[in-house]
Structure 1
Amino acid sequence: MAGARQQKHECLEQVIDGVVGLGEDQDKVSVSDIQDTIGQRSFGPFLFVPALIEISPVGGIPGVPTILALIIALFAVQMLFGRDHFWIPDFLGNRSVRGEKLGKGLNKIRPLVRWLDKISRARLSWATSKGALRLIAVLCVLLATSIPPLELLPFASTVPFSAICLFGLGITTRDGVVVVLGLMVSVGAFVLAGMGLLGG
C-alpha cells in the first residue's frame, strides 16, 4: 500500500515539484521547458499540468487560457491517434511565463494536488481503458474549443479546465472515479459554453 501511494505521489505532486523548480531556477519558463520536465511519462500529465496552470492564478493572465487550450487540444489529438511521443510547434513551445509567477501560482494549489494524491487509487478500470482514453481525448478537444469564447467571461474557462484536469489525474492514477467526475464536470462545461455563445 505504501509503495502504491508513493508511486502516485511521484506522478502527481512530484510532477508539480518539477515545474515549480523550473520557476525557481529560470526567469522565464517556456512551454517546451515544461514539456521536457514532464517527460514522456503518460498521457495524464500532459493534460493535468496545463489545466492546473490555468486553474492557478497564472490563468488570470489575458490570453493564457486560450494558449493552454491550444496546447491541450494538440496533445489530445495526438493521444487520440495513439502517439507516445508528443510534438508541439515552435510558436507554442516558445511561449513563456515569468518563472516566479508560475511557481507561486502552482504552490497556491499544491494543497489540492496533495489531497487528490491521497484519495486517488486504481478503481473502475473500464474508465481508463484504451477505448475510454479515446473518448477522453475527443472530449478534451471539444472542451478546449469551448475555452476561447469563455475567456470573455470572468473565471468561466476554469470549468472546462477543471474537467480536463480531472481526466489527466484519473489517467495518471488509473482512478476511474476521477475520470467519471471529469465527465460530470464536462457536462457543466458544455452547458456553460453554450450559454456563453448564446450570450455573445
Structure 2
Amino acid sequence: MPPPHPEPLSLNDVLDDIAYKADNDDTPEKLTLGEVLDSVGRRTYGPILLVIGLIAVSPLTALPGTTWFVAALTLLVAGQMALGMKRIWLPRKARDMGVPRDSVKGVVEQGRRFANGIDGLLKPRLIFLSRPPFVNFVALLVIGAALLTFPLGLIPLAPLAPGMAVVFFGLGMTARDGLWLLLGALAVGGAMWLALPLIF
C-alpha cells in the first residue's frame, strides 16, 4: 500500500509518510535509513533533504558519530542534486543502517509541534530558485552546509546551524518556495560565521 503522499508538498506530508512507514513496517524493533528515506520517495530532492535535516537537528545526533554520518549523507545527496541526477542513489551500507522505530516516531512527534505553523508559511513563490540553473547553486549551498558540519561537530549544539540550513533548503525545495531557500542561504552564512574561528 503506497504512503499517503507519494509526492510530499509540505512538512506535514513528509511527517505523514514517515509515520505511515513506521506504523506499517514488518520489522518490530527498527527501520532502516533506506526505508525511512524511501517513504518520502527518492526521485525528489526536497523531501529527502528535509528528512536528513530533521535527523540532523534531532536528538538522534547525540549518538557518537551520527553528526558526521548525517553530514556525509547530506554531501552525497547534494552532490547528486548538483549533477542533476534524476534518482537519488545511496550506498547499501547507509541504506541498511538501523534506526530505532521509537526514535523515528519521536522525530515525527517533535516535528508535529511545528508542522502546522511552518506549513502555513509555505507557498509556491520565487519558484525559479528551485529550478535549473539556480537549483544547482542551492545544491552547492547544501554541500557547504554539510562541509561546515564537520568542524562544528567539535562544539556542542553548533551543528544545529548547518542542520537548520538543510531543513530550510528541504522545505523550500519541497514546497517550491524560494523564500525558504533564501533563508537556508542565510543559515549557511550563520554557520560559516560560527565555523571560521575553527577553520582559520
TM-score band by shorter chain is: 0.7 to 0.9
The equivalent of 1:159 in structure 2 is 161
8 Å CA contact 2:152–2:158 kept in 1: the answer is: yes
Q: CA RMSD in A?
A: 2.1
Deviation (angstroms), 1:48: 0.9
* Letter of the 2:18 counterpart: V
Q: How many residues align?
A: 193
Deviation (angstroms), 1:129: 2.5
Larger helix fraction of residues? 1
Deviation (angstroms), 1:106: 2.7
Matches within 5 A, 1:23-34: 23-24=22-23, 25=25, 26-34=28-36
Matches of 2:33 and 2:15, distance apart in 1: 14
Q: Give structure 1 regions of 4+ aligned residues with deviation exceeding 6 angstroms.
A: 6-9
Matches of 1:97 and 1:7, distance apart in 2: 22
Matches of 2:111 and 2:12, distance apart in 1: 11
When residues 34 and 8 of structure 1 are mapped into structure 2, their CA distance, relative to the original with a 3 A threshold, is closer
Matches within 5 A, 1:136-147: 136-147=138-149
The equivalent of 2:13 in structure 1 is 14
8 Å CA contact 1:166–1:181 kept in 2: the answer is: yes
The Cα offsets for residues 61-86 of structure 1, whole Å up to 9 and x where unpaired, read as 22112111111111111111111111
* Among 101, 104, 109, the residue aligned to 1:102: 104
* Among 64, 71, 74, the residue aligned to 2:66: 64
User: What TM-score results when the alignment is normalised by the length of structure 2?
Assistant: 0.87
User: What TM-score results when the alignment is normalised by the length of structure 1?
Assistant: 0.87
* Letter of the 1:67 counterpart: F
Matches of 1:10 and 1:177, distance apart in 2: 15
8 Å CA contact 1:46–1:72 kept in 2: the answer is: no
User: Does residue 91 of the first structure (1) align with residue 90 of the second (2)?
Assistant: no
Matches of 1:39 and 1:7, distance apart in 2: 7
8 Å CA contact 2:148–2:192 kept in 1: the answer is: yes
Deviation (angstroms), 1:28: 1.5
* Among 134, 137, 157, the residue aligned to 1:135: 137
Q: Residue 155 of structure 1 aligns to a residue in which SS?
A: coil
Matches of 2:8 and 2:136, distance apart in 1: 26
Matches within 5 A, 1:163-174: 163-174=165-176
Matches of 2:142 and 2:198, distance apart in 1: 18
The equivalent of 2:118 in structure 1 is 116
